[in-house]
Amino acid sequence: MKILIITETFVPSTDGVVTRLKASIRFFLRAGHDVRIIAPDHGVTEFEGAQIDGIPARHLLLYRSKKFALPSRKVKKLIKDFDPDVVHAVNPALLGVAGVHYSKKLGYPLLASYHTQVPKYADYYNLPMFKGFLWWYFRKIHDQATINLCTSEVVKKELDERNFKNVHVWKRGVDTDLFHPSNHEPTMRETLTNGQPNKKLLLFVGRLAPEKEIEKIRDVLEKSDEFVLAIVGDGPHRSSLEKYFEGTNTVFTGFMHGEQLAQAYASSDVFIFPSTTETLGLVITEAMASGLPIVAARSGPTCEQIDDQRTGLLYDPQQDGDFVEKVLQFENETLRKRLSKTARNEIAGMSWDAQSEQILDYYRDVVGIEKPEAIDDKRHDFY
């Protein structure tokens, strides 16, 4: 099968969407499929044998730390030249809109996946008046796809309620060989604790942006000197966070990847995930695979990932002080060890292969729904 993936973000960027795509593409290539990627041009032209066609990228006003590609007519030529069996538009918002438009115009089978709750982010960027427009905009884009995927049952329910068409859940995955408790590394722990390895190490991994609500963790550090914090990642909010956490036992590391990231997880004690706006916290799965108990909000997809009191603790974001109270429970080492063991056991049998095979099945479904004879007829009109 010739698979064309059009995505708003790809290597060398690092986030949950990129991690999922990389795992899927590796699986597709091993299975003998021909994969092509259209993505913002960040100077990378191939990924493990799959060609990347870059579209010029630029900084946007509200998000200066990352470059995005805008819709381009070049996408039409790239689609026609590759002549795919199926097109997958990943998180279509800017570049992906061109992918959706030209795929439909040229008659190629189209699937789209929804990964980011952009309308909900409007509150964090002081733009609540745009939420209605953003829901309309994304629904209009996704309704052009034959099948739409999202990454949790909670998000599926919301998209269904907002009249998105034919929505299905794309399974979770994680590399349980890479993310494993055995990757505990004393030198890494020394670094992340800023030379205080005997204290309990709280870990946050992710994009540093306002909607992540990382500021909540400072209250824990002020309530108890038993904890230190490591923040792994980067983003537009980093400088503000560094000022906010100044004077606390907090280390900012910037991005980590691969084995280094796996060591960071396995060398920590508790994973902290304050956000209430995620479609799927892939970092939660990576942390659990590494043997870390989780503290996360009792809202949205986190409830699908975390079994309260078994693999982590869920806090009520509407209850003042509940987040701090939940984290402070990990002063009890017995609780931490019990939840740590269960968290790892919960994830141990997971891999990326099942979700990659699942998406291949959806590709086949889309191709089957969009009959080849009808596709050929439609293409003829535009060549």
Biggest CA pair distance of the chain: 70
Label residue 60 by pLDDT band (50, 70, 90): confident
Residue 152 burial class via C-beta count within 10 angstroms: exposed 0-12, middle 13-18, buried 19 and up: buried
Its pTM stands at: 0.88
Domain 181-347 has CATH 3.40.50.720: no
Label residue 277 by pLDDT band (50, 70, 90): confident
Distance CA 16, CA 246 (A): 28
Distance CA 105, CA 382 (A): 8
Answer yes or no: is pLDDT of 137 > 80: yes
Give the residue extent of every domain in the chain: 2-173+352-382, 181-347
User: Which of helix, strand or coil describes residue 296?
Assistant: strand
What are 253-270's pLDDT values in tens digits? 999 999 999 999 999 999
User: Which of helix, strand or coil describes residue 15?
Assistant: coil
Q: Tokens for 75?
A: 């996408």
Higher pLDDT, 169 or 278: 169
Q: What is the pLDDT of residue 62?
A: 64
Q: What is the pLDDT of residue 65?
A: 67
Distance CA 55, CA 93 (A): 14
Mean of the per-residue pLDDT values of the chain: 93
Q: Tokens for 240?
A: 């503000």
Answer yes or no: is pLDDT of 171 > 50: yes
Q: Tokens for 45?
A: 């032209």
Q: What is the pLDDT of residue 381?
A: 35
Best CA proximity match to 359, nearest among 179, 151, 139:
151
181-347 and 2-173+352-382 share a CATH fold:
yes
Answer yes or no: is pLDDT of 372 > 60: no
CB 7 within 8 A of CB 44: no
Answer yes or no: is pLDDT of 70 > 70: yes
In terms of CATH architecture, what is 2-173+352-382? Answer: 3-Layer(aba) Sandwich (3.40)
368 Cβ contact partners less than 8 Å away, ≥ 6 residues apart: none
Label residue 370 by pLDDT band (50, 70, 90): low
Q: What is the pLDDT of residue 64?
A: 65
Answer yes or no: is pLDDT of 343 > 60: yes
Answer yes or no: is pLDDT of 18 > 80: yes
Q: What is the pLDDT of residue 280?
A: 74
